[in-house]
Amino acid sequence: MVENDIVIMVVRLVLAAILGGFIGLERELHHHPAGFRTHLLVSVGSSLIMLLAFYGFQDYIAENKEVVTFDPSRLAAYVVSGIGFLGAGTILVQGYTVRGLTTAASIWVVAGIGLTVGAGMYSAAIIATVIVVLSLFLLGKVTFRFGTRERKNELSIFVDEQGSQLNELIKIFETHAIKIHSMKSEKQNIYNENPMIEYRLVVEYIEETSLRIAVDALHKISFVKKVAIEKESNETTHI
C-alpha cells in the first residue's frame, strides 16, 4: 500500500465522519435515540468497509489472479441489508404511536453516504447529505394536508379500573372517523372513590360535531365517569 492510498483513505474516512455527523446533528438536536455519534459511526464504518473492499484484498488477488474473481460491491450489499437491524432498534412503539421511522431511514441513508464516500464519489455523497439535512430540518416543520384541514385536540377519559375495556373506547372514535394520534394511561387513586384509570389521548378530526357526538357516546358507556377536552387555549372543559 503506497502513501497516496493512505491519504485517500484518511480523506474519505474524515469526509464520511463529517457528512454522517452533520445529519446526526439534526437528530441530536431533536433528542432522538440515534443522534450525532450514532450517525457518525455508521457513516465511518460504512466508508471503512467500502475501503476494505477496494484495498483490503489487493495482495491476495494479485497472488491468485487465475483462481480469484472479486466483486467489491458484495461488501456494500451486506452493509445495506445489515444496517436494517440498527435502524429497527430506533423504532419505538408507544401505545398507538410509532416513533423513530425517520431516524431509522436517516441511519440507512447515512450508511449509503458512507459507502459512496468510500467509493470516492464525493459529489454524490455531498449532494445526498444536503438533501437529507434539508429534508430533516425543513420538511419536519411542514404538515401536508390534502382537502379538508384536520383539527387536533387532547382528551382525558376517566374510567373505572374494574370492568373497563379500552377497545370499546377506540371503537367509538373509529366509528366517528376520529384518529387517535397518541395515547397514555395513568392510574388515579381519588379519595373516597373507586380507583380509576385516566386515558390521555391526542385525537385528530375534521368536524367539531363528530368529536361532540363521540364524547356523548362515551358517556353512555357504564364504566366511563368523566371526559375532559383540552382546548387550544389550554382551558379544560369537563363534559
Question: What gap in Å lies between CA 44 and CA 91, rounded to an integer?
Answer: 22
Could you tell me how far CA 213 lies from the centroid of its own chain?
34
Per-residue model confidence as pLDDT tens digits over 29-38:
877 767 788 8
Long-range contacts of 181-188 (CB under 8 A, 24+ apart): 181/96, 181/97, 181/152, 182/94, 182/95, 182/96, 182/97, 183/95, 183/96, 183/97, 184/95, 185/95, 187/161, 188/158
Collapsing DSSP to helix, strand or coil, 221 comes out as coil
C-alpha to C-alpha distances, 231 to 24, 130, 216, nearest whole angstrom = 35, 39, 17
**Is the predicted pLDDT of residue 239 greater than 50, yes or no?**
no
**pLDDT reported for residue 231:** 60
The pTM score is 0.55
User: Treating both helix axes as pointing N-terminal to C-terminal, what angle do 73-88 and 101-118 enclose, rounded to 10 degrees?
Assistant: 160
Q: What percent of the chain has pLDDT over 70?
A: 79
Per-residue model confidence as pLDDT tens digits over 38-55:
888 888 989 888 888 887
Mean pLDDT, range 113-134, rounded to an integer: 89
**pLDDT reported for residue 233:** 40
Domain assignments of the chain as residue spans, ordered by start: 3-141, 151-238
Q: What percent of the chain has pLDDT over 90?
A: 3
Helix (H) or strand (E) holding 107: helix 101-118
**Is the predicted pLDDT of residue 17 greater than 70, yes or no?**
yes
Mean pLDDT, range 178-197, rounded to an integer: 75
- Of 67-71, 94-98, 170-174, 180-184, the range with the lowest mean pLDDT is 94-98
Question: What gap in Å lies between CA 209 and CA 198, rounded to an integer?
Answer: 24
Q: Which CATH code for domain 151-238?
A: 3.30.70.260
Cell triple for 74 = 458484495
